[in-house]
Amino acid sequence: MVTTLLDRIGLLVTNDPTLGDGSALGQLADAALVVDARGTVSWAGPSAQAPAADVRLDAGGRCVVPGFVDSHAHLVFAGDRAAEFTARMSGQPYAAGGIRTTVAATRDAPDEVLAANLARLVAELRRQGTTTVEIKSGYGLTVHDESRALALARAHTDETTFLGAHVVPPEYADDPSAYVDLVTGPMLDACGPYARWIDVFCEDGAFDSDAARAVLTAGLARGLGARVHANQLGPGPGVQLACELGAASADHCTHLDDVDVAALADSATVATLLPGVEFSTRSPYPDARRLLAAGVTVALATDCNPGSCYTSSMPFCIALAVREMRMTPAEALWAATAGGAAALRRTDVGRLAPGSRADLVLLDAPSYVHLAYRPGVPLVTDVWAGRPPAT
Ligand code: NIG
Ligand code: FE
């Protein structure tokens, strides 16, 4: 076990405003970083002042940013909905009912198939710079299939989310309240031990305000944290419910009125924007500028899932946030790192300051601006999850 000095960083983003240029990104030019034997950052500062370490690695002038924190992903599933995407691109609207297609394929899939698809996707995210990922259930919708999804997800992350309340499955179509009873009773009993969070899709065609409240309060009573799929397809009660119940995050936030924005601004609930969804469903993007102007904490996440958005790429989402939602490159990078950490109530990730995990990305670029300036280009050259790759 050794200490490692990562030296000759052209531009280091720390997300600590007390370091570097004093901006939210805490940027330092010609910087260096020391990582201790436990994989924790022990020092960050100008290269010229770097302390000695057991191993010295040369960043070659590249830009180093915190590893991306993807706080919203649905990675445990089987099947393919490319035909649905093709239909949308020629004018069909996105509908929540498509979730049931994936539920059927997921229920039919053996554990090994789900595990292999999950591992492939987690590796895909990692290659694109994501070092912390939240993974939801939600394509099983039986006690057995939801708990096996979470047990599989747990092998990859501590940030697991029970989303039994994704849609009402077909066998409960005539009695949706019985399904809510299942979710808040036996399903929560079986899934709670594998989950850190509980989530609900609060939307027309999924769960209304009363059902969503019942799901979230049952999860909170079991010690899970709350997060909500809110105001995605139209205006609705999800965002205000999330704020009222102290949810860590309200996700999507595409259709907001002034009361929703004020509720977010007055709460500790993060607004997690998922611009890959609007790209992949040909829908209007959320108004990020309005949220930022109101002082709301904004996160960016991929929402990687086989239906509304099948990208695993945070750099792509950053490019969309800048081009389509008019976030500055600095705001978008912060939202994809520190914002995602806030949405998961984590202080050990999403930054590169003394005490944080050495989760970082080396970009083959002089600046993080290139993440948006060079869309679609694989700029992520190395990803450290606590330590250099292959050590
Ligand atoms: O976050 N909105 C609900 N759930 C997912 C989509 C799931 C699907 O279409 O399979 C989402 O967009
Ligand atoms: Fe989602």
| Domains of the chain, CATH where assigned | 4-67+351-385 (2.30.40.10), 68-343 (3.20.20.140)
pLDDT of residue 388: 84
Give yes or no for residue 161 CB within 6 A of ligand 1.
no
Mean pLDDT value of segment 263-285? 98
pLDDT of residue 168: 97
The two tokens of residue 308 are: 């509304």
Mutate to test the pocket of ligand 1, among 277, 305, 311 (most ligand atoms within 8 A of CB): 305
Ligand 1 centre to CA of 96 (Å) is 7
| Contact by Cβ (8 Å): 196, 159 | yes
Mean pLDDT value of segment 15-24? 94
Give the tens place of pLDDT for each residue, 228-243.
999 999 999 999 999 9
The two tokens of residue 257 are: 């009125």
Q: Is the predicted ipTM greater than 0.95, yes or no?
A: yes
Per-residue pLDDT band for 96 (boundaries 50, 70, 90) equals confident
The two tokens of residue 1 are: 């076990």
pLDDT of residue 391: 58
Is it the case that residue 390 has pLDDT exceeding 80? no
Ligand 2 centre to CA of 23 (Å) is 31
Q: What is the DSSP letter of 207?
A: B
Mutate to test the pocket of ligand 1, among 74, 88, 231 (most ligand atoms within 8 A of CB): 74
Mean pLDDT value of segment 64-72? 99
* Model pTM score: 0.98
Ligand 2 centre to CA of 17 (Å) is 31
Mean pLDDT value of segment 14-25? 95
**Which position has the token pair 């924190």?**
69
Mean pLDDT across the chain: 97
pLDDT of residue 97: 83
Worst-scoring range by mean pLDDT, 96-105, 151-160, 287-296, 382-391?
382-391
Is it the case that residue 226 has pLDDT exceeding 80? yes
The dihedrals phi and psi of 47, each to the nearest 5 degrees, come to -50, -40
